[in-house]
Amino acid sequence: MAEPTLEQQLRSCRRSAVHLEMRDGYMRSDPRFIAWQNGVRDAPEDNDPALRPWLALTAELTGKDVEIRRARIVSEPVSDYIEFEHHVTDANVKAGELVRWLPRRQASDIALPGNDFWLLDDRLVVFHHFDGDGELAPDDETFTDDPATVKLCGSAFEAVWERAVPHEQYRPARRP
């Protein structure tokens, strides 16, 4: 029997889903990112839940009182990909997701796992795996309910969340 997908696991959440992102670039081959690099801002596919399924899923889950929080640890000055992410995150927030940003220099004393992850209902960790260029690795997700791993991820996320700046207040430091 196949492992449930992340989407299926998210749909089974009852209380919370937290996501920690620690890379300065993801899937730079994404057509939305490429369009953004070429000057396209506020394209329908950035803001429309019908064209961006994550927004619809977020609204569905938060409508069932599941709290969704995302924290991003970013290098400053930020990469062009992080500028893009910051730009399109307004739609995430409008859909009900809480998002915060933490400059990497402020995370140096936090014990962090080696990979980005989701922690679902404080019971299941879904690790994401990327190649060196930020593209999804062939075995892009691993799931664990190991109590020590769940505890590490929970404490790491909460430490980052406590220090991070809410999306509405964060202004990415850009290159001169």
Domain CATH number, residue 148: 3.30.870.10
Model pLDDT, residue 1 = 61
Residue 57's domain spans which residues?
6-25+51-166
Model pLDDT, residue 4 = 83
Distance CA 152, CA 139 (A): 22
Beta-bridge partner residues of 126: 118, 143
Distance CA 119, CA 18 (A): 5
Asked whether residue 45 is assigned to any structural domain, the reply reads no
pTM of the predicted model as reported, rounded to 2 decimal places: 0.94
Model pLDDT, residue 44 = 76
Question: Is-contact 158 69, C-beta < 8 A?
Answer: no
Model pLDDT, residue 138 = 82
Distance CA 63, CA 61 (A): 5
Asked whether residue 106 is assigned to any structural domain, the reply reads yes
**How many domains does the chain divide into?**
1
The separation between the first and the last C-alpha atoms of the chain, rounded to the nearest angstrom, is: 52
Asked whether residue 150 is assigned to any structural domain, the reply reads yes
Model pLDDT, residue 174 = 85
Residue 28 DSSP SS3: coil
pLDDT mean across residues, the chain: 93
**Element holding 123 (H helix, E strand):** none
Asked whether residue 101 is assigned to any structural domain, the reply reads yes
Asked whether residue 90 is assigned to any structural domain, the reply reads yes
pLDDT tens digits, one per residue of 89-146: 999 999 999 999 999 999 999 999 999 999 999 999 999 999 888 888 888 899 999 9
Is the model's pLDDT at 158 over the cut of 90? yes
Model pLDDT, residue 47 = 78
pLDDT tens digits, one per residue of 11-70: 999 999 999 999 999 988 898 899 999 998 878 777 777 778 899 999 999 999 999 999
Asked whether residue 62 is assigned to any structural domain, the reply reads yes
Give the strand order in the sheet containing 165-166: 136-144, 124-130, 117-120, 16-21, 67-74, 98-103, 165-166
